[in-house]
Copies of this chain bind each other. A is one copy, B any other.
Amino acid sequence: MPAQELEILESHACFGGRMARYEHPSRHCQGPMRFAIFIPPHQPGEKLPVLTFLAGLTCSEETFMIKAGAQRYAAELGLILVAPDTSPRNTGIAGENDDWDFGSGAGFYLDATQAPWQAHYQMFSYVTEELPALIARNFPMSAGVQGICGHSMGGHGALVCGLRRPGQYQSLSAFAPVSAPSQTPWGQKAFSRYLGDDTRQWLAYDSLELLKSSGQQHPPILIDQGRADPFLEAELKTEYLETLNDPQIILRWHETYDHSYFFISSFIGEHLNFHARHLGAVPRSPAHD
């Protein structure tokens, strides 16, 4: 099925479907990008909704597919899962590998405007335009039927993509999102270097600000947040979203859960059910061979 534009890195049977990783040349990021995809069991010719998952700092396109245990639910619900990498890699930009919270593995899902990063770090356009078009060309994607989900930096990314492109995504969800990056250290470090010192430019990538200005006109949002998350107080500020009293946001607090994929795996089934409902996915019995 995949055409020449995709190089396959690995492929495995999984829950009656197939999980694979690919590399392709990216127009927006001006270099090779990688993503993982899970195609659930389906009928020939059948088109399926797509749920994109954006991972957090230090992760890659592999992390979600290995750690979250989502394929089992996606197989039952008939959802394609797509997991892009968290940044361009090996761009040659000096210092790209110096920090774990900036550069490689930390693209923050924005379109950088500042040199030298703007030449490659165009993750917002990559995730919202280039990658979905690539998926639609090469896999049995139901055109225009998409949800987006993410964790931590990727939770920020999922909310920002969905809030800025409300016509493109029918459902949004996040685990422990960086909710107000303009006000917190990871976000301030990244935004100042990717977007520059004019903090007005930052607001276009700040979920709290986007939600304030949305007039509650946005796709339905599900957010899970652990109270034992060590990043909650300094970096996430998930409680700020609660102050919006937005009926389109379901924010669930979990007393004992932390920031790990053990938290994500515990609730990913409920997120997939939430997206499947809003995307009109057609549940099926898992068909192991």
Contacts and interface: CB of A to CB of B under 8 A. Distances in A.
Interface of A: 12-16, 19, 66-67, 69, 71-72, 226, 228, 254-258, 260-263, 265-267, 269, 288-289
Given A13-B257, A13-B263, A16-B266, 8 more contacts: A13-B226, A13-B258, A15-B265, A66-B67, A67-B67, A69-B72, A72-B266, A255-B289
Contact of A254 (B228, B262, B288): B288
B261 A66 contact: yes
Nearest to A69: B69
Contact of A71 (B13, B254, B265): B265
27 contacts: A12-B260, A12-B262, A13-B226, A13-B228, A13-B254, A13-B257, A13-B258, A13-B262, A13-B263, A13-B266, A14-B262, A14-B265, A14-B266, A15-B265, A19-B262, A66-B66, A66-B261, A67-B67, A69-B69, A69-B265, A71-B262, A71-B265, A71-B266, A72-B265, A254-B288, A255-B289, A267-B288
A256 B12 CA distance: 8
A15, A67, A263 — most chain B CB neighbours (10 Å) = A15
B13 A256 contact: yes
Contacts of A258: 12-13
A262 B18 CA distance: 9
A34 to B, nearest CB: 17
A254 B19 contact: no
A56 B80 CA distance: 30
A263 B12 contact: yes
